């Protein structure tokens, strides 16, 4: 690929960097903005809007209106999301999963969760297959720790469950040409052939519900927008195969604690992992990029900028549930009434409290994980 300017936006399923322009992504990817009208429609079914909707974390969609039309006329939908298990989970991963659980609770619907150990093996040079499978198991514990119910949650571990996926994957693969795949995913001469076939596997959970239950219903996929290329090709083949086109609701990337980009598992110091002990969490937050000024005097006088502050983002998307308190923090920051140290201290406390609880639930998940396996 051509040498890219460092700040240029790059958003693919395998790489996100530069300053992300979400309006432009809506145009480039040809998705729809999540309008106020649609949000109000969701609210009719869920009661108060989830904070990730109220605060704009989810900003774009495809066919959410269609799914709601069907739902209101009595056709249910299933939820589908997933994870490429290439390492431990960080807080940025948990955020859309928390929202997915909310949708599952409110719409009382089934969730298919795909653990793509195969994808990560193919895509990551250094990753061994056993390592990817093991991360898949470990990451599933983090998902279960969020409180999903086994009656309604089906985790697919690609390598172990391939027999369930393979027939639909073949139907999909036969209908996507190399030229479409190359244009959609940017494949190169040097791309391994496993990777080239692989998008057919990510399509399968969009359709698997019909095979398992005989019920043909659409899938709604809550996920970060970098996954969109997969859904474009899947949508193109859906109707040829007699299924509904999968619908999406897209979220932004939770920025890492550094400047720009998303929280990335490969940038260890700017992501908070669920396994990070309290002192590591503290260190990472203390080194975070904020909207603060160079000196205390300056900040008291001119105020800080919460809009660029990564610490403020953490409060916004997970750690401050109360809208009034969030607004207060924003205002105090802008007026110079609160300094970065105070926010960092409070965030550190909040994150550590959350993670200690999470890790307890994660331990318990080991006893019930089998109940979530799609092949139970």
Give the residue with the Cβ less far from ligand TRP, 15 or 328.
Answer: 15
The pair phi, psi for residue 125, each rounded to 5°, is -50, -45
Least distance in angstroms from the C-beta of 82 to ligand TRP = 3
Least distance in angstroms from the C-beta of 39 to ligand TRP = 21
Helix (H) or strand (E) holding 153: strand 153-157
Return the closest-CA partner of residue 155 out of 117, 106, 105.
117
Which of 81, 100, 264, 290 touches ligand TRP (CB under 6 A)? 81
Q: 96 - beta bridge partners?
A: none
Is residue 12 near ligand TRP by the rule CB under 6 A?
no
Nearest-angstrom CA–CA distance, 376 and 357: 28
The pair phi, psi for residue 273, each rounded to 5°, is -85, 150
Is residue 208 near ligand TRP by the rule CB under 6 A?
no
Please, which residues have CB within 8 angstroms of residue 105's CB and are 6 or more apart in sequence?
none
Give the residue with the Cβ less far from ligand TRP, 221 or 272.
Answer: 221
Is residue 227 near ligand TRP by the rule CB under 6 A?
yes
How many residues bind ligand TRP, per CB under 6 A? 13
Least distance in angstroms from the C-beta of 244 to ligand TRP = 16
Nearest-angstrom CA–CA distance, 56 and 190: 39
Q: 180 - beta bridge partners?
A: none
Is residue 82 near ligand TRP by the rule CB under 6 A?
yes
Is residue 161 near ligand TRP by the rule CB under 6 A?
no
Which of 52, 60, 116, 139 touches ligand TRP (CB under 6 A)? 116
Give the residue with the Cβ less far from ligand TRP, 64 or 326.
Answer: 64
DSSP string, 347-371: HHHHHHHHHHHHHHHHHHHTTTGGG
Give the residue with the Cβ less far from ligand TRP, 128 or 364.
Answer: 128
Which of 31, 60, 100, 114 touches ligand TRP (CB under 6 A)? 114
Least distance in angstroms from the C-beta of 112 to ligand TRP = 9
Nearest-angstrom CA–CA distance, 85 and 157: 10
Least distance in angstroms from the C-beta of 127 to ligand TRP = 12
For helices 64-72 and 36-46, the axis angle rounded to 10 degrees is: 40
Is residue 83 near ligand TRP by the rule CB under 6 A?
yes
Is residue 100 near ligand TRP by the rule CB under 6 A?
no
Report CA-CA distances (Å) from 188 to 17, 29, 177, 184, 185: 20, 21, 15, 12, 9
Give the residue with the Cβ less far from ligand TRP, 81 or 348.
Answer: 81
Is residue 13 near ligand TRP by the rule CB under 6 A?
yes
Is residue 153 near ligand TRP by the rule CB under 6 A?
no
Q: Interface with ligand TRP by CB under 6 A: which range of 112-120, 238-246, 294-302, 312-320?
A: 112-120
Give the residue with the Cβ less far from ligand TRP, 53 or 340.
Answer: 53
Is residue 221 near ligand TRP by the rule CB under 6 A?
yes
The three state secondary structure string of 49-76 is CCHHHHCCCEEEEECHHHHHHHHHCCCC
Q: Where are the beta strands (DSSP E) in 192-329?
A: 219-224, 247-251
Is residue 252 near ligand TRP by the rule CB under 6 A?
no
Sign of CA dihedral 335, 339, 340, 344: negative
Nearest-angstrom CA–CA distance, 329 and 320: 10
Contact residues for ligand TRP (CB under 6 A)?
A: 13, 80-84, 114, 116, 119, 202, 221, 223, 227
């Amino acid at each position: 690929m051509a040498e890219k300017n460092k700040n240029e936006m790059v958003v693919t399923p395998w790489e996100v960097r530069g300053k992300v322009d979400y309006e432009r992504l809506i145009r480039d990817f040809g998705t729809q903005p999540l309008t106020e009208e649609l949000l109000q429609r969701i609210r009719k079914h869920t009661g108060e809007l989830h904070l990730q909707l109220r605060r704009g974390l989810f900003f774009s969609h495809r066919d959410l209106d269609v799914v709601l039309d069907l739902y209101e006329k009595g056709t249910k939908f299933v939820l589908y999301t997933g994870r490429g298990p290439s390492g431990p989970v960080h807080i940025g991963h948990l955020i859309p999963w928390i929202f997915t659980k909310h949708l599952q609770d409110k719409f009382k619907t089934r969730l298919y969760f795909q653990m793509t150990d195969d994808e990560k093996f193919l895509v990551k040079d250094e990753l061994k297959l056993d390592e990817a499978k093991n991360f898949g198991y470990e990451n599933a514990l983090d998902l279960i720790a969020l409180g999903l119910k086994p009656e309604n949650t089906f985790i697919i571990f690609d390598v172990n469950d391939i027999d369930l996926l393979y027939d639909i994957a073949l139907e999909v693969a036969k209908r996507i040409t190399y030229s479409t795949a190359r244009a959609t995913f940017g494949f190169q001469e040097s791309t391994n052939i496993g990777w080239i076939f692989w998008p057919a596997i990510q399509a399968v959970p969009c359709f698997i519900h019909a095979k398992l239950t005989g019920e043909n219903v659409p899938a709604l996929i809550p996920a970060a927008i970098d996954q969109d290329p997969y859904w474009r090709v899947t949508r193109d083949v859906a109707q040829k195969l007699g299924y509904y086109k999968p619908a999406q609701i897209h979220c932004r990337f939770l920025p890492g604690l550094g400047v720009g980009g998303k929280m990335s598992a490969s940038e260890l110091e700017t992501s908070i992992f669920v396994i990070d002990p309290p002192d590591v969490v503290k260190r990472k937050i203390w080194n975070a990029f904020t909207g603060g000024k160079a000196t205390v005097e300056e900040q008291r006088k001119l105020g800080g900028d919460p809009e660029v502050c990564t610490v403020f983002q953490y409060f916004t998307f997970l750690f401050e549930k109360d809208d009034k308190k969030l607004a207060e923090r924003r205002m105090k920051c802008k007026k110079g009434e609160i300094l970065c140290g105070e926010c960092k201290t409070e965030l550190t406390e909040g994150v550590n409290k959350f993670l200690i609880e999470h890790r307890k639930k994660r331990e318990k998940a080991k006893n019930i994980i089998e109940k979530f396996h799609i092949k139970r």
